[in-house]
Amino acid sequence: MLDHDDFAPFLARGVALEYLTPLDLQAQHAALMDWPDYLSEKWMLLQLKWQPGQIIAYGMTADRFLNLSRAGRDNGL
């Protein structure tokens, strides 16, 4: 899962990926939807679909990202 829009290195290697709306864009478009709920459901469905044996984070973990998304919503950011 990515939270930026530079997919080129991953696409060049044929890697499957998912895009998560960055926190700043969630705040900018907060009126469109409940981003934390949407992204939490998306994350859950990805895990159910692929059933990964191991999840490796390069940078922020999905749980941390989702917690920051919730905090942004709850604090009106």
Is residue 17's pLDDT more than 90?
Answer: no
Structural domain contains residue 64: yes
Structural domain contains residue 63: yes
Structural domain contains residue 2: no
* Overall average pLDDT of the 14-37 stretch: 90
pLDDT digits (tens, 9 = 90+) for 46-75: 999 989 888 877 788 999 999 999 999 999
Is residue 33's pLDDT more than 70?
Answer: yes
Q: Which residues of 15-40 are buried (b: 16+ CB within 10 A; e: fewer)?
A: eeeeebbebeebeeeeeeeebbeebb
Question: Hey, what are 30's tokens?
Answer: 């907060």
Mind giving me the DSSP string for 40-61? HHHHHHHHHHH--S----SSS-
Structural domain contains residue 19: yes
Structural domain contains residue 1: no
Q: How many domains does the chain have?
A: 1
Structural domain contains residue 50: yes
Residue with the two structure tokens 């930026």: 4
